[in-house]
Structure 1
């Protein structure tokens, strides 16, 4: 077979479909029209992010595989494969009670610090460090949790649940949805056991994202909306953790609604998120999750891009608050926002700016970019103006953008 990255998107879809699945069968499995599937395999027209998600789910693969950024069977770097194996062993082993041999687990303070470092590694796209810290917390933490009582048990339960959540987030980012769901199952049991409604709400936000990447868009919206209703705060007297969790859930619902092209619902959810952020007054972080005025503006840009409201997205991106992003904004959040801006720039005919933005992201986070769908979408659109420019960008950032 030719190099996977050298094939067109249409040929990759056809190859993934194989001889056992007809075009009609793929269309039905993805919930798309036969005409759209035929056009996709013939490389006629552009696929929306929503259609790519649905095709990837029906083909039991990830969007990045269709776009040629990864080869089938998770063609990822050896270091990432090793890190995910370690993470998988820890998620399953800790849940099954296989922590024999850990006679002196780390203290609760040490485990809490390791949990924080795992989240820092996640937001820095350092999979190896995330796996090492998370594995330590899950195995040693469960060993200590089994014999703890009272306040220590509650604190340990929250530390463990938050660590299972970062494991789920990492796994989902690599398309390992089964592992993500396993981690969330353990996390939800712990959050319920220690009675932490805010942590439970944030776990539902992650579950909504898992459904989003699995193209289960109605479920993604429903999960986020249900959890938001359960924790909905009074805007006059709600606690800051409640406001943060509620706002993040409203963002999750808005993102999923935008992928369904339901602009009215997305605007309603986004309005609630803006209200919660305004009440907070500043960006804050809790259990590895950031939320506040800047976070909402950045997410709103992506939501309007998904709805093809490119002018509105660029207007938001031009807001003074977004000209210089705060140092507290993580590398992943910052670069995801910039990819949304680049896509809007492409749509507005600002091709040179879009290319510069894409290069900036690729140089800042080359490994993270390999697992994202948008760079390939942006590259394909830029190639309509200059194929040579896109090939140069691909060489510069080390990521194949076009066949």
Structure 2
């Protein structure tokens, strides 16, 4: 029996709620035309954000509308995918044991630290150039020295993150599968789960990403927060933020808010040490603090279409004062720009985009969210400034 399409699921839920197509359009803020095309089978899918609007109006989880067999959301194709072919080839190739000069633990660790720095700085081209050699070296070391397995896991995690960021989803899966074989303990497993949830969410696999986040958040919850290590608190906190992110998109606001409360408790317990503590060897290459939680709270508010709340939180976060290399900070700024557009502060939104462009010019073109937000600006303006036109080209906004 063929799986029901999103249009069939939408029609069934709408009828169960006793709504006409026009009433659903009014309640969800989605065009009547799109609803008709989905229900009549003229359109086979829609954006996750649109599905959530339907779910909110129908008072059901978003995942009830999305077929489990849904295809990946906008994977990289053509020249955009070709530029990462050397990394994909290195990930897909077998480990080689014919290396003339065996890498050392110190050498691979130094290369890995450099790769992490390149990723954190947003130098995607630089890490893409460095990774093929690093992957080969990590394989060679791990085959000859047990200490190399943990390093190879770190290499595979950073490779998987790059592939996720650039929408090479199958290659990211390969990297994370290889990382899983080398995971030495629960903390490393939690780091890998954190990355896998992000990959699943980027792919639009909402139900799978939520289930994985909840499973690992439950498994890593410390027995007593006061006795937990910084690594344990950071791992648990990040997984709670993943729970909140997936729950928000699945129209489960109570679940999202509960996860955010627990994430706040983890950040408070972690305390001042979180401002400088990272656990690179376990795959957590970003800081975890109350500020991190506040950014997720802003994202939750944006998913729920509360732009005023986003901007109130942004005033407290002051992302412009944070290091420009923080990827989480750049994602938060896209929420700020989105909120500014919805509040008709278009000039402010363009200014926010210009800040992101200046700090993360290689990161911005890979963000579908950036295209969606900038598309709102373009549609709402009669004429475009030179900056708007340049940004539209940068994020590859369709003509």
Q: TM-score, normalised by structure 2?
A: 0.78
Quick one: structure 1 residues 358 and 56, their matched pair in 2 at CA, closer, same or farther if it must change by over 3 Å? farther
1:362 corresponds in structure 2 to 357
1:264 corresponds in structure 2 to 254
2:312 corresponds in structure 1 to 315
1:290 corresponds in structure 2 to 287
State whether residues 277 and 291 of structure 1, in contact with CA within 8 Å, keep that contact through their aligned partners in structure 2.
yes
**Matches of 1:323 and 1:368, distance apart in 2:** 17
Q: CA deviation at 1:242?
A: 0.4
Q: CA deviation at 1:51?
A: 3.8
State whether residues 88 and 179 of structure 1, in contact with CA within 8 Å, keep that contact through their aligned partners in structure 2.
yes
1:325 corresponds in structure 2 to 321
Aligned pairs for 1:1-400 within 5 A: 27=7, 36=34, 38=36, 49=49, 51=51, 60=71, 62-63=73-74, 73-76=77-80, 81-82=82-83, 84-93=84-93, 96-97=94-95, 99-148=96-145, 153=146, 155-191=147-183, 195-233=184-222, 234-281=224-271, 282-283=274-275, 284-287=277-280, 288-319=285-316, 321-322=317-318, 324-327=320-323, 330-389=325-384, 392-395=387-390, 398-399=393-394, 400=396
State whether residues 121 and 127 of structure 1, in contact with CA within 8 Å, keep that contact through their aligned partners in structure 2.
yes
Provide Cα deviations, 1:159-200, integer angstroms capped at 9, x if missing partner. Answer: 111111111111112222211111111101100xxx321111
State whether residues 50 and 260 of structure 1, in contact with CA within 8 Å, keep that contact through their aligned partners in structure 2.
no
State whether residues 162 and 199 of structure 1, in contact with CA within 8 Å, keep that contact through their aligned partners in structure 2.
no
**3-state secondary structure, aligned to 2:329:** helix
**Matches of 1:55 and 1:229, distance apart in 2:** 25
**3-state secondary structure, aligned to 2:287:** strand
**Matches of 1:118 and 1:27, distance apart in 2:** 44
**3-state secondary structure, aligned to 1:366:** coil
Q: Superposition RMSD on alpha carbons, in Å?
A: 3.3
Quick one: structure 1 residues 334 and 387, their matched pair in 2 at CA, closer, same or farther if it must change by over 3 Å? farther
**Matches of 2:338 and 2:350, distance apart in 1:** 10
Provide Cα deviations, 1:197-217, integer angstroms capped at 9, x if missing partner. Answer: 111101001111111112111
State whether residues 97 and 143 of structure 2, in contact with CA within 8 Å, keep that contact through their aligned partners in structure 1.
no
State whether residues 73 and 204 of structure 2, in contact with CA within 8 Å, keep that contact through their aligned partners in structure 1.
no
Q: CA deviation at 1:395?
A: 1.9
Provide Cα deviations, 1:19-69, integer angstroms capped at 9, x if missing partner. Answer: xxxxx95735999989645468999xx966354999999784544x8xxxx
State whether residues 160 and 190 of structure 1, in contact with CA within 8 Å, keep that contact through their aligned partners in structure 2.
yes
State whether residues 169 and 199 of structure 2, in contact with CA within 8 Å, keep that contact through their aligned partners in structure 1.
yes
Structure 1 spans left out of the alignment, 5+ residues = 1-23, 66-71
Quick one: structure 1 residues 326 and 360, their matched pair in 2 at CA, closer, same or farther if it must change by over 3 Å? closer
Quick one: structure 1 residues 253 and 358, their matched pair in 2 at CA, closer, same or farther if it must change by over 3 Å? same
Structure 2 spans left out of the alignment, 5+ residues = 15-20, 22-32, 53-61
Q: How many residues of Structure 1 are paired with residues of Structure 2 in the alignment?
A: 355
